[in-house]
């Protein structure tokens, strides 16, 4: 009983997170301005990270946690670098 409930809830959460990624992807493609796209990218990677965590819960596998951590770190670096690029037009000054 509890296993079915949990499996259903996690699957539902995964659908919601996939929808969130779709919303972010739409904004990423649509723009209109560069800052909108970077913001959408940030939302996209956070949703992807959470999706990884839910996969880990589903499979009871701690390896997904490592993947989530790496996505979080690389996502932060990517967004920060892109924002810096928008601010100055170059990343390395």
Partner 1 sequence: MSHAAGLPSFVAFVIALLVVLGAVLTLIGALGLLRLRSFYDRVHAPTLGTTLGTGLVLIASLTLFSALQSRPVLHEILIGVFMTITTPVTFMLLVRAALHRDRSAGRDPAAEGASRSQGRPPEPRPE
Whole-number minimum distance, CB 24 to partner 1, in Å?
5
Pick between residue 39 and residue 92 the one whose CB is nearest to partner 1: 39
Whole-number minimum distance, CB 77 to partner 1, in Å?
9
- Residue numbers at the binding site for partner 1 (CB under 8 A): 1-10, 12-14, 16-17, 19-21, 23-24, 26-27, 33-36, 38-40, 42-43, 46-47, 49-50, 53-54, 56-58, 60, 62, 65, 68-69, 72-73, 76, 79-80, 83-84, 86-87
Instruction: Tell me which residue of 21, 8, 18 sits closest to 58, measured CA to CA.
Output: 8
Whole-number minimum distance, CB 92 to partner 1, in Å?
15
Structure tokens at 75: 């996502």
Only one residue has tokens 């037009």, namely 89
- Do residues 83 and 38 lie in contact, with contact meaning Cβ atoms separated by under 8 Å? yes
What's the number of CA atoms in the CB half-sphere (13 Å) around residue 74?
A: 10
Secondary structure of residue 60 in the 3-state scheme: coil
């Amino acid at each position: 009983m509890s296993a079915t409930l949990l499996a259903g809830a996690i699957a539902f959460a995964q659908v919601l997170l996939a929808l969130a990624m779709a919303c972010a992807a739409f904004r990423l493609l649509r723009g209109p301005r560069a800052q909108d796209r970077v913001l959408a990218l940030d939302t996209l990677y956070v949703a992807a990270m959470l999706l990884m965590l839910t996969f880990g819960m589903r499979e009871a596998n701690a390896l997904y946690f490592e993947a989530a951590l790496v996505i979080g770190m690389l996502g932060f670096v990517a967004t920060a670098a892109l924002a810096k690029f928008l601010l100055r037009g170059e990343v390395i000054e």
